[in-house]
């Protein structure tokens, strides 16, 4: 497969996935927005990380 | 012209994130964009650095990586001590899972010519093998997380964080001492005639350390790569009816169920991953397209298998070169040190496999 074709397929698939995900995920409640900067916010981090076992 | 188009898309995406998702996510995307630009623009390759040390006794790449780890630790550890409730370290459990996973990851990254960040930025640059590997990496990462409980049942200790146990000063001292010892061993192995410093890579190390610290301050958790990949594949598998997250130990946990339900644009790891891809694409558009060496069918097959193993083993190892090594060591996790040792042993095997298949 030629490089430009593979690259195009990759980006189309990736953008398509993000579009599909946006349409099918739970709506975002912007009133529950996380703090802009976690440090000093007083809120515990809520995301998952690669190192976590859960 | 292409760069102007990309700049417009990036600016529109930043505004979309800020308006419809969260300001924090817009900021993290920009941090990821910077990471991608630095990784791709300066060709800051963890895999290549290790391979050059092993095969050519060239220590410049590894010494730049050690500088990155030290600078990131200097920036991150005091932050973790100052905000213990707001920020968390990249703590993975010392375990058989970690030992096996890191060894396999170290071998596979040499065959696939890319680790976690390397696969991401090289896919962004349009390098064919890494572009093809990324989706397979995601599938492997998802399956690794889905079977993690079984690997952990082989035996695991509780995660050990140096900052929490000793405080920032002592943790930083121990970490810097460890890095200096490693650096001395690397220089000794390389011999007197070796070129020690590569200024471009050192600049890359400084910039990446600052960006990694920004990631921690903004997201509340250290820089990671592979959780995002696994999440993307888990979403597809769940939507296709191939996977029931409620019946799986890892994905049924509250935090993972939440990330599965919500947009990937809200996931801190995914958004920096997307930024890295965009940053690498920005670099790629500014350079003339170079002709990559065509691969044989066997090389493609071996490379894709290695890509799958990269994904699977990165979850067993509680991170890749970024989540486990950079973030683990710079935030004081003992598992980061075990990861480096085992992954380097794996790389000793991996460079030989790479040579065997004439990559």
Checking if the pLDDT of A3 tops 60, the result is no
Distances (CA, A) of B95 to B242, B271, B342: 29, 29, 12
d(CA B231, CA A50): 11
**Residues B93-120, mean pLDDT to the nearest whole number:** 97
Rounded Cα gap, residues B110 and A43, in angstroms: 40
DSSP annotation of A26: P
**Is the Cβ pair B23, A33 closer than 8 Å?**
yes
- Mean pLDDT value across residues B328-356: 98
Instruction: State how far the Cα of B38 lies from the Cα of B125, in Å rounded to an integer.
Output: 12
pLDDT digits (tens, 9 = 90+) for B184-201: 999 999 987 878 999 999
Q: Which domain holds residue B292?
A: 2-356
pLDDT band at A2 (very low <50, low <70, confident <90, very high): low
The reply to whether residue A51 touches residue B217, judged by beta carbons under 8 angstroms, is: no
Q: Exposure of A37 by Cβ count < 10 A (0-12 exposed, 13-18 middle, 19+ buried)?
A: middle
Which chain B residue has the Cα nearest residue A44?
A: B86
Q: Which two tokens stand for residue B84?
A: 């213990």
Contacts of A28 in chain B (CB under 8 A): 20-22, 262-263, 266
Facing A51 at nearest CB: one of B22, B91, B250: B91
- Between the alpha carbon of residue B272 and those of residues B24, B211, B336, the distances in Å are 11, 11, 21
Q: Which 3 state secondary structure label does DSSP give B103? A: helix
| Residues B254-289 pLDDT 10s | 999 999 999 999 999 999 999 999 999 999 998 877
**A50 interface with B at CB cutoff 8 Å:** yes
pLDDT digits (tens, 9 = 90+) for B64-82: 999 999 999 999 999 999 9
Say how far apart CA B98 and CA B297 lie, in whole Å: 32
Predicted local confidence at residue B194, as pLDDT: 79
- Quote the pTM value: 0.96
Instruction: Provide the domain count of chain B.
Output: 1
Q: State the pLDDT at residue B28.
A: 98
Q: How many CB pairs below 8 A link A and B?
A: 166
- B320 to A36, B303, B328, B348: CA distances (angstroms): 27, 18, 10, 17
Residue labelled with tokens 């170290």: B106
B239: contact with A, CB 8 A cutoff: yes
Q: Do B255 and A46 touch (CB under 8 A)?
A: yes
**CB-CB: which of A3, A34, A40 is closest to B83?**
A40
* Set of chain B residues whose Cβ sits within 8 Å of the Cβ of A10: 123, 131, 134
Q: Is residue B204 scored above 70 in pLDDT?
A: yes
Average pLDDT, chain B: 96
Residues of A in contact with B256 (CB under 8 A): 48, 54
pLDDT, tens digit, for every residue of B237-248?
Answer: 999 999 999 999
The residues near B160 (Cβ < 8 Å, ≥ 6 apart) are B91, B94, B333, B334, B335
Q: What Cα–Cα distance (Å) separates residue B44 from each residue in B8, B20, B48? A: 27, 33, 8
**Complex confidence, ipTM:** 0.94
For residue B288, what pLDDT is reported? 76
B340, B279, B306, B328: which is closest to B73 by C-alpha? Answer: B328
pLDDT of residue B293: 80
| Nearest-angstrom CA–CA distance, B80 and B77 | 5
pLDDT of residue B166: 96
For residue B248, list its beta bridge partners: none
pLDDT average, residue stretch B28-53: 97
Is it the case that residue B2 has pLDDT exceeding 90? no
Nearest-10 Cα torsion for B328, B109, B140, B246: 0
pLDDT of res. A52: 83
Please name every residue paired with B95 in a beta bridge, in sequence order, or none if there are none: B156
CA-nearest residue to B78 within chain A is A39
How many angstroms from the chain centroid is the CA of residue B130? 14
């Amino acid at each position: 497969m030629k490089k430009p074709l593979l690259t195009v397929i990759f980006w189309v698939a990736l953008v398509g996935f993000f579009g599909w995900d946006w349409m099918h995920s739970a709506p975002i409640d912007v009133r529950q927005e996380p703090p802009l900067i976690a440090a000093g916010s007083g809120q515990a981090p809520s995301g998952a990380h690669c190192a976590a076992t859960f | 012209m292409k760069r102007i188009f990309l700049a417009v898309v990036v600016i529109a995406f930043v505004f979309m994130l800020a308006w419809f998702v969260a300001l924090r996510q817009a900021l993290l995307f920009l941090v990821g964009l910077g990471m991608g630009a630095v990784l791709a623009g300066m060709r800051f390759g963890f895999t290549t650095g290790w391979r050059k040390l092993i095969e050519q006794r060239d220590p410049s790449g590894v010494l730049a990586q050690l500088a990155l780890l030290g600078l990131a630790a200097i920036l991150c550890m005091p932050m973790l001590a100052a905000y213990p409730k707001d920020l968390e370290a990249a703590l993975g459990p010392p375990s058989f899972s970690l030992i096996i996973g890191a060894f396999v990851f170290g071998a596979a990254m040499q065959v696939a010519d890319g680790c976690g960040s390397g696969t991401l930025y090289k896919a962004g640059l349009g390098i064919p093998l890494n572009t093809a590997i990324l989706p397979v990496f995601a599938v492997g990462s998802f399956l690794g997380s889905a079977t993690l409980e079984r690997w952990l049942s082989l035996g695991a200790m509780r995660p050990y964080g140096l900052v929490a146990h000793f405080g920032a000063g002592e943790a930083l001292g121990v970490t810097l001492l460890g890095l200096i010892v490693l650096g001395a061993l690397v220089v000794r192995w390389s011999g007197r005639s070796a070129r020690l410093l590569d200024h471009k890579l050192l600049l890359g190390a400084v910039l990446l350390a600052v960006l990694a610290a920004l990631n921690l301050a903004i997201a509340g958790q250290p820089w990671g790569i592979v959780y995002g990949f696994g999440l993307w594949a888990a979403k597809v598998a769940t939507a296709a009816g191939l996977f029931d997250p409620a019946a799986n130990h890892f994905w049924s946990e509250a935090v993972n169920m939440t990330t599965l339900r919500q947009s990937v644009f809200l996931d801190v790891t995914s958004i920096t991953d997307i930024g890295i891809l965009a940053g690498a694409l920005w670099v790629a558009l500014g350079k003339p397209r170079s002709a990559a060496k065509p691969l044989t069918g066997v090389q493609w097959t071996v490379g894709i298998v290695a890509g799958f193993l990269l994904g699977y083993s990165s979850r067993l190892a509680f991170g890749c070169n970024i989540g486990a090594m950079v973030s683990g060591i710079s935030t004081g996790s003992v598992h980061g040190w075990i990861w480096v040792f085992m992954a380097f042993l794996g790389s000793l095997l991996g460079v030989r496999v790479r040579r065997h298949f004439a990559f």
